[in-house]
């Protein structure tokens, strides 16, 4: 139908539409996702090294033509119910997003008007800033306080007159964990909303999550993702937990059909296979310990990791090592910005991938 | 890991977080998607009545664990390339969204600051308004002009000092088509950007799309969807076509991984099976003609349909008929608002579904 080949030269003139763009959008740099290269040892974007649950793959194979033909259930109710059962909350405290990035976007759009302020400890996940720019909001960075082998939450974080305070816990890219008691204190002190992004919390051991305390803090929003411990980064699924009245308001802001039917089915299957999930987490933690033991040989240091990656302090050769690893077919994450220029973020991979990384590093150091 | 059952009463206090919400968000009513009821004849949300291409189902079955484990390709490049080949444009003129609703959201966020204005002919797709409220933008409705058996574009549409003018073509819910020449004229006159939402254009026959004219109008954005003629509403896939410079800016605004890996694979498979797509469109148009012939028996009228649905003028009994059909297991769309209160929007279904609809209507009229 329609079109066919237009037989016209492309891009005949610069776009007249450009001058109607929001100036702040035109001026901004987009968020740069980690490189998505295939055919290499990929230790740069903190995915799970093992495949998702066999239940998930069975759900994928079982997906019927009807679930593609028809619109998805708009509120992902089945996933909400499975999440409620898995995490001990009620289904009306859950919102499912097209990745937890979508959950973040929904929160920003619901709470922030241009000129409103968000605050986060720094350095952290760069997307928090990108989304603020998109919303015309002001960002305040308050530096983390390195202390011993961890990073402490800055004491002034609660005093920034911010509508939203966002803390990744464990933090990305440092992998450090702030104790639950400190975050509860922050939530209580805050005249605003506290968003705790728990993308990596399963790797932090028991008692690290704020979810069991959700009912005590009506200004608290907790985010979880299927992209890390559930091995479903490709499915785009995130969970938001909050007071039911907050969830009801956020539902108005999300795209009406924000999560596709297949991903909804996969999410339910993943949540229902608790044993496999526990096993993925256990294997990751055990492999993290082995990697840490081996990396000490290079004289590198890193803050205590409560996540599935390490932020290694490697000194002024960081970029050089990043590039050498890349040409050896091993991708890790390096940022050109301070205070990360001298560091490499390394995802815990499968044992054989970590071995390749260690061999390559030995060669570089030899 | 984490949590377990919290053993606390839920919802102990009203949420303190609520007062931090944007007042315009708190005040707004969310967009109400059409009812998604299973186990009924579903003629209310304009899905395709037949399943997607066998190629699509093969792509679904072939999806590997790795495509779930890893992040998706952030820009959906394979889909962009397949779309470029199918529609005779270049790949850098294409952006893929998580449904065309996502494409609309991206456009609104890129162009509109609070107080900016959008205009659209009215009545049309309700989501255009919802998204404007979310963006703090002002909406101007300019009434369509019923003329003979169609609805004409209001002459004053270009004169609203709007940054964005949005026209669904064919229009939803009227199914009426505005000729390409009129839209090109509008694009040329406009001091702003023209967005033409071509969700249903395949059902309008050859020469109805603006895509072959994209290169002549640098302030033009064209939207397409996989939810209708490709029978992939459940996959959430939409396409945006525009000048490469516009597309590059919009890429900064979209969520970094907005389209999941499985849907990307399904989109490529659907675009590559042109024969099946053509057949779905042909069958829909032929069944639309049969339905129209049968409905004249009830004395109903409707504007000329260029889409896969009819907007029937049924008089003051519209709600009653809607409810009677619903209790007979047949869902059509009815709105309580003017000027739609006396109308029913009926999706063209499979032959046997349309027969059930016609039998039920005969019983109601008997």
Average pLDDT of chain B is 93
Same domain, residue pair B340 and B286: yes
Of B3, B26, B65, the CB nearest to A249: B26
Which residues, including other chains, have CB under 8 Å from residue B48's CB and lie 6 or more apart? A69, B228, B229, B230, B231, B233, B280, B284, B308
Q: Note whether residue A239 is domain-resident.
A: yes
Nearest C-alpha of chain A: how many angstroms from B355? 20
Gap from B227 CA to chain A (nearest CA, Å): 8
* pLDDT at site B2: 38
The mean pLDDT of B312-317, rounded to a whole number, is 96
Residue pair B41/B357 in contact by the 8 Å Cβ criterion: yes
Residue A212 inside a domain? The answer is yes
Question: Is the previous residue joined to B191 through a cis bond, with omega within 30 degrees of 0?
Answer: no
Cβ within 8 Å, pair A69-B56 = no
CATH number of the domain within which A335 lies: 3.90.1150.10
Assess if residue A296 is contained within a domain.
yes
Rounded CA gap, B356 and B38, in Å? 16
- Calculate mean pLDDT across residues B74-78: 97
| CB < 8 Å to B17, chain A | 193, 218-221, 242-243, 246
pLDDT computed for residue B29 by the predictor = 83
Residue-wise pLDDT for B136-176, tens only, equals 999 999 999 999 999 999 999 999 999 999 999 999 999 99
pLDDT number for residue B159: 96
Give the pairing type, strands B193-197 and B238-241. Answer: unpaired
**Chain A / chain B CB contacts < 8 angstroms:** 361
Owning domain of residue A132: 54-273
CA A223 to chain B, closest CA, distance in angstroms equals 13
Of B219, B251, B273, the position where a domain reaches its end is B273
Alpha-carbon span A204 to A322, nearest angstrom? 27
- Residues of chain B with Cβ-Cβ distance to A93 below 8 Å are 10
Q: Is the pLDDT of residue B9 over 50?
A: no
CA distance A312 to chain B (A): 23
Residue A192: its pLDDT value, please? 95
Q: Rounded distance, CA A16 to CA A142, Å?
A: 40
Are residue B193 and residue B308 in the same domain, yes or no?
no
Record: contact B215-A281, CB cut-off 8 A = no
Sort out which chain A residues have CB atoms less than 8 A from B249's CB and list them: 18, 21, 25-26
Distance of CA B309 to the CA centre of its chain: 13
Nearest residue of A to residue B102, measured between CA atoms = A255
Task: Decide if pLDDT at B18 tops 90.
Answer: no
Asked if B262 and A68 come within 8 Å (Cβ–Cβ), the reply is no
Tell whether the model's pLDDT for residue B77 goes beyond 50: yes
For an interface test with B, give the residue of A13, A20, A126 to mutate (most B CBs within 10 A). Answer: A20
Q: Do A2 and B211 lie within an 8 Å CB cutoff?
A: yes
Same domain for B67 and B205, yes or no, is yes
Peptide linkage before A268 cis (omega within 30 of 0): no
3-state secondary structure of A224: strand
Res. B117: pLDDT tops 90:
yes
End-to-end Cα separation, chain B, in angstroms: 63
- Do A310 and A246 share a structural domain? no
Distance from CA of B365 to the nearest CA of A (A): 30
Question: Is this complex scored with an ipTM above 0.90?
Answer: yes
Residue A313 lies in a domain: yes
* Residue A37 belongs to a domain: yes
Residues A358, A262 share a domain:
no
> Is residue A302 a contact partner of residue A311, using CB atoms and an 8 Å limit?
yes
- Which of B10, B215, B234 has the CB atom closest to A261's CB atom? B234
Q: Looking at the domain assignment, is residue A269 inside a domain?
A: yes
Query: Per the CB < 8 Å rule, is B25 touching A252?
Result: yes
CB–CB contact A60 B56 (8 Å):
no
Give me the pLDDT at residue B3, please: 40
**For testing contact with chain B, the best of A41, A49, A69, A226 (most B CBs within 10 A):** A69
Last residue of a domain, one of B273, B292, B311: B273
CA–CA gap between residue A276 and residue A281 (Å, rounded): 9
The Cβ of residue B27 has, within 10 Å, a number of other Cβ atoms equal to: 9
Q: Which of the four pLDDT bands, split at 50, 70 and 90, describes residue B67?
A: very high
> Which stretch of DSSP H or E encloses residue A111?
helix A100-111
Whether B69 and A89 lie within 8 Å, measured CB to CB: no
Q: What is the per-residue pLDDT across B251-296, written as a single tens digit (0 to 9) for each? A: 999 999 999 999 999 999 999 999 999 999 999 999 999 999 999 9
Residue B161 lies in a domain: yes
Closest Cβ–Cβ partner in A14, A63, A212 for B60: A63
On whether both B157 and B285 belong to a single domain, the answer is no
For residue A1, being part of any structural domain is answered with no
Domain boundary among A210, A243, A273: A273
Q: Are residues B102 and B243 in the same domain?
A: yes
With an 8 Å Cβ cutoff, are A8 and B216 in contact? yes
Query: For A127-142, b where at least 16 C-beta lie within 10 A, e where not — what string?
Result: bbbbbbbbbbbbbbeb
For residue range A281-328, what is the model confidence (pLDDT) as tens digits? 999 999 999 999 999 999 999 999 999 999 999 999 999 999 999 999
- Residues A227, A110, single domain; the answer is yes
pLDDT of B329 > 90? The answer is yes
**Distance (Å) from the C-alpha of residue B238 to the closest C-alpha of chain A?**
12
Identify whether residues B329 and B220 lie together within a single domain. no
Contacts of A223 (CB under 8 A, 6+ apart): A100, A103, A104, A195, A196, A197, A198, A199, A238, A239, A240, A241
**CATH code of B125's domain:** 3.40.640.10
For B347, half-sphere exposure in the C-beta direction (CA atoms, 13 angstrom radius) is: 22
Q: Which of chain B's residues have a Cβ under 8 Å away from the Cβ of A31?
A: 252, 256
Low pLDDT (below 50) residues in chain A = 1-12
**For residue range B80-110, what is the model confidence (pLDDT) as tens digits?**
999 999 999 999 999 999 999 999 999 999 9
Q: Residues B149, B291: one domain? A: no
> How many angstroms away from the CA of B312 is the closest CA of chain A?
23
**Residue B33 clears pLDDT 90, i.e. is over it:** no
Q: Is there a contact between B68 and A232 if contact means CB atoms under 8 Å apart?
A: yes
Q: Which residue of B has its CA nearest to A65?
A: B51
**Does A39 share its domain with A135?**
no
pTM: 0.94
Q: How many domains does chain B have?
A: 2
Same domain flag for A307 and A359: yes
A364/A358 Cα distance (integer angstroms): 10
Q: Is A140 strand, coil or helix?
A: strand
Mutation choice for A interface testing from B129, B213, B260 by most A CBs within 10 A: B260
């Amino acid at each position: 139908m329609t079109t066919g080949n237009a037989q016209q030269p492309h891009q005949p003139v610069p776009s007249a539409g450009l001058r109607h763009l929001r100036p702040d959008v035109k001026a901004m740099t987009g968020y740069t996702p980690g490189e998505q290269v295939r055919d290499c040892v990929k230790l740069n974007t903190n995915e799970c090294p093992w495949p998702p649950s066999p239940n998930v793959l069975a759900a994928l194979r079982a997906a019927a033509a009807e679930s593609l033909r028809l619109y998805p259930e708009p509120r992902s109710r089945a996933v909400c119910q499975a999440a409620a059962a898995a995490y001990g909350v009620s289904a009306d405290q859950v919102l499912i997003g097209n990745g937890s990035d979508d959950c973040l976007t929904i929160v920003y759009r619901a709470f922030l008007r241009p000129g409103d302020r968000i605050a986060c400890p720094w350095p952290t996940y760069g997307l928090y800033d990108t989304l603020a720019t998109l919303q015309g909001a002001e960002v305040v960075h308050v530096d983390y306080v390195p202390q011993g082998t961890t990073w402490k939450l800055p004491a002034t974080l609660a005093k920034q007159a911010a509508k939203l305070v966002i803390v990744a816990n464990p933090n990305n890219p440092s992998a450090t964990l702030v104790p639950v008691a400190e975050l509860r204190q922050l939530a209580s002190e805050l005249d605003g909303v506290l968003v705790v992004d728990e993308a990596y919390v399963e790797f932090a051991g028991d008692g690290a999550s704020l979810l069991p305390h959700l009912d005590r803090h009506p200004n608290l929003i907790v985010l979880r993702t299927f992209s890390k411990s559930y091995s479903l980064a490709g499915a785009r699924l995130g969970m938001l937990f909050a007071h039911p009245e907050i969830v009801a308001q956020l539902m108005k802001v999300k795209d009406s059909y924000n999560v596709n039917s297949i991903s909804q089915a996969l999410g339910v299957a993943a949540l229902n296979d608790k044993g496999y999930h526990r096993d993925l987490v256990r294997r990751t933690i055990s492999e993290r310990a082995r990697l840490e033991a081996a990396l000490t040989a290079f004289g590198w240091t890193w803050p205590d990791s409560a996540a599935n990656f390490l932020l290694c302090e490697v000194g002024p050769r960081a970029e050089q090592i990043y590039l050498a690893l890349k040409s050896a077919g091993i991708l890790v994450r390096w940022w050109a910005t301070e205070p990360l220029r001298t560091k490499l973020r390394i995802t815990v991979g499968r044992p054989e991938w970590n071995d390749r990384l260690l061999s390559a590093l030995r060669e570089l150091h030899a």
